[in-house]
Amino acid sequence: MNYTNALEFLYAQKSLGIRPGLQAVRDLLGRLGNPHEKFKSVLIGGTNGKGSVSAYLHSILVESGYKAGLCTSPHFLDFRERIRLNRDIIPEKEVVEAVERARSVSSDIRPTFFELSTVLAMLYFAKAEVDIAVMEVGMGGRWDATNVLDPTISILTPIDLDHTDFLGDSLEKIAGEKAGIIREGGLLLTSEQGPEALEVLRKTCAERKAEIWEISRIFDAEVFSMNLTGSMFNLAFNNRRLEGIKIPLAGSHQIKNATLSIAAAERLRGMGFTGITDQGILSGLEKTVWRGRLETVSAAPKVVLDVAHNPSAARVLVSELRELFEFSKLIFVVGIMANKDIPLIINELAKVSDEAIAVWPNTERASEPEKIVNCFLERGIHAIEIRNVGEAILEAKKKAGRDGLVCVTGSFFTVAEAYLALGIRA
């Protein structure tokens, strides 16, 4: 088997769709010697921001001298983006080896694409003898493949409506699913939550005798610089201060994400990871690389890429565009998956949009552009359809003019195709 064959086998499992439940993953891991039991982990769930928090915390651990794994999803252009050891993506030969091992024992289990991808990461981290792995939950929590782990810390970023066909149609139901990553006698760190979600998390922690750290009650940020290249701030907590924090990701929401990662680093330091220092935290945050989040990729007009793909993420995106950018005209290039709440996403984008171009990313999951166009038109925003993302960006730049702004958003797939069209490596 070569790398191409390994990817073909992996992607063939996409036909199995999403399968809630942990039994298949546990059976497969058992046949592989339970690699997930051979390293410590931090499990990070939530609706939005969990990838950014994962990237920040992983970078802190690397800068503190630990051999640290990082598993996130989805990827932009290369499957190997999902699995990292320190600063490096998994080598092709390690993907091949892990796929061969998993395939040899899984014919009757038939793991899904995400289950198999998660198992590959666990095999790689166990083989590498990582000190700790930062694992991003894929969807939900209770039945997510990552939830076979026994995490040192569980983390939840803000919880909102998304994947309602699988997780439930209310914040309480979704929070209940995401609370599945909280362990008996464990530790939960949570971002600021709405009252419905917070009540569920508090109740779950009480039932499981788990400690809960509500970050907004403990940490107080003093922001003194925020622009397109990131933010600088100080942080006060537990009768001490961390000063001169610099993060390279733009937006006030990223200050909250970074604060959550700092809280995790602080707790890990008290749980035996004594190599974590204030300097390691500062250096790790400053060196974090995480693409597709309010990412400015060109000027005159500015072109910004953001993976906002649900209503709450679109709401944050709109707020940050207003706060951070000056523009004479804003043109959105939008491609959204068909299973998303498209009208609610467009409701948010329409608040700042002058015009919009709907695209059709190259995936069977994408919504037809006509639906997106109609949503904008119903809200009084001129919109057209250009199916190819690259062609849409060229047209949007013409419409925006040198003083305008083009924002490409709606899904990871849309942003990935923007990278390809613009000749940017993700």
Burial group, residue 123, by CB count within 10 angstroms (0-12, 13-18, 19+): buried
Do 342 and 221 lie in one domain? The reply is: no
Q: Sheet containing 230-237: which strands, arranged edge to edge? A: 219-227, 230-237, 240-247
**Contact criterion met (CB below 8 Å) for 376 and 301:** no
Q: Return d(Cα 53, Cα 66) in angstroms, integer.
A: 17
Listing DSSP states for 218-251 in one string gives HEEEEEEEEETTEEEEEEEETTEEEEEEEESS-S
Question: Does 340 lie in the same domain as 262?
Answer: no
pLDDT exceeds 80 at position 80: yes
Across the range 191-212, mean pLDDT stands at 96
Read off the pLDDT band of 425 (50, 70, 90).
confident
What pairing do the DSSP bridges indicate for beta strands 295-298 and 355-358? Answer: unpaired
Q: Point out the domain boundary residue: 240, 257, 286.
A: 286
pLDDT higher than threshold 70 for residue 370: yes
pLDDT averaged over the chain? Answer: 96
Residue 15 confidence (pLDDT)? 84
Last residue of a domain, one of 259, 286, 313: 286
Q: Which two tokens stand for residue 229?
A: 């290249």
Query: Quick one: DSSP state of residue 324?
Result: H
**Cα angle 314-312-205, degrees, rounded to a multiple of 5:** 155
Judge whether residue 230 has pLDDT over 80.
yes
Distance CA 90, CA 120 (A): 10
Alpha helices, DSSP H, located in 39-150: 50-63, 92-104, 113-128
Q: Cis (ω within 30 of 0) for the bond into 369?
A: no
- State the average pLDDT over residues 92-112: 96
Domain count, the chain: 2
Whether residue 299 is found in the same domain as residue 261: no
Contact 58/70 with Cβ under 8 angstroms?
yes
**Predicted confidence (pLDDT) per residue in 161-196, tens digit:** 776 667 777 889 999 999 999 999 999 999 999 999
pLDDT at site 21: 86
The pLDDT value recorded for residue 164 is 64
Whether the per-residue pLDDT at 385 is higher than 70: the answer is yes
For the beta sheet containing 132-136, the strands, ordered from the edge strand earlier in sequence to the opposite edge, are 88-89, 83-85, 68-71, 132-136, 40-45, 153-156, 187-190, 211-214
- pLDDT higher than threshold 90 for residue 411: yes
pLDDT at site 156: 98
For 25, the domain range is 3-286
Report pLDDT for 303: 98
The verdict on 416 and 315 lying in the same domain is yes
> What pLDDT, in 10s, does the model give residues 127-165?
999 999 999 999 888 999 999 999 999 999 999 877 666
The enclosing domain of 217 has a CATH number of 3.40.1190.10
pLDDT of residue 161: 72
Q: What CATH code is carried by the domain that includes residue 332?
A: 3.90.190.20
Considering the domain architecture, whether residues 82 and 119 belong to the same structural domain is answered as yes
Per-residue pLDDT at 393: 98
Model confidence at 120: pLDDT above 70: yes
- Together in a domain, 62 and 204: yes
Q: Which of 230, 254, 286 is the last residue of a domain?
A: 286
Residue 222 has pLDDT above 70, yes or no: yes
d(CA 79, CA 98): 14
**What are residue 155's DSSP bridge partners?**
44, 189
Positive or negative CA dihedral for 66, 248, 44, 179? positive
Residues 185 and 133 placed together within one structural domain of the fold: yes
Q: Three-state DSSP class for 15?
A: helix
Mark whether 317 and 270 lie in a shared domain.
Answer: no
Residues 303 and 164 in one domain: no
Residues 331 and 249 in one domain: no
Cβ-proximal residues to 206 (8 Å cutoff; 6+ apart), any chain: none
Q: In terms of domains, do 122 and 167 share one?
A: yes
**Mean of pLDDT values over 229-257:** 96
Would you tell me how many other CB atoms lie within 10 Å of the CB of residue 148?
A: 19
- Asked if 238 and 262 sit in the same domain, the reply is yes
pLDDT at residue number 20:
81
Report the first-to-last Cα separation within the chain, whole angstroms: 27
How large a percentage of the chain has pLDDT more than 90?
94
Residue 17 has pLDDT above 90, yes or no: no
